[in-house]
Amino acid sequence: MNPSSITTQEIAEQDIFCFDFEKEFIVQAIQCIPMIVRYKLDTVGIKLSLAQWSRFSWFDRYQLSILACREKNEFKQYEIFLIELLKHHGWFELTRLPLIGRMPDIPAGILDLLNERLMDLGHQIDEAQWKDLTDLERFALSKLIRKDHESKNLIPALVEFGILKPPG
């Protein structure tokens, strides 16, 4: 394939991890903050608003999506890249999040909150199903069930993660 003929969408489809329920917002414009980026932001302890995200170029968003942030040395590199990017766009004050062991904190009681939401659907998730989810899947659900979050993606995420059967 000729590199000059590769489209933004093709790059994104190849490189940016996103859940199926996020794809319509992520692949072409990366207009919403992907869960993988939100996970990384929580890992380095920096809150990023949608307004800040929106000011970044497509390439900046792409970089934040694909940069590694799994190992101790990668945490610092990711944090430095993000801070420099924010400064470049005129944000010099950061909103810091509490760090607990350099992993995103999934608050206690999330499974109970999830089951409250699932009760309306006539379903429950047990501890074993919860533990079978990946860290990123549990993180995504912890974000999707918050009261201040528009939760139109909750059901598609639950279907994608094998907790609910597809409708129909």
Mean pLDDT over all residues of the chain? 82
Burial class from Cβ neighbours inside 10 Å (0-12, 13-18, 19+) for residue 36 reads: buried
Residue among 67, 11, 80 nearest 40 (CA): 67
Low-confidence ranges of the chain (pLDDT < 70): 1-15, 25-30, 99-105, 148-150, 168
Report helix, strand or coil for 46: strand
pTM for this predicted structure: 0.79
pLDDT digits (tens, 9 = 90+) for 131-145: 899 989 998 998 888
pLDDT digits (tens, 9 = 90+) for 113-125: 899 888 887 889 9
pLDDT digits (tens, 9 = 90+) for 52-63: 998 898 889 989
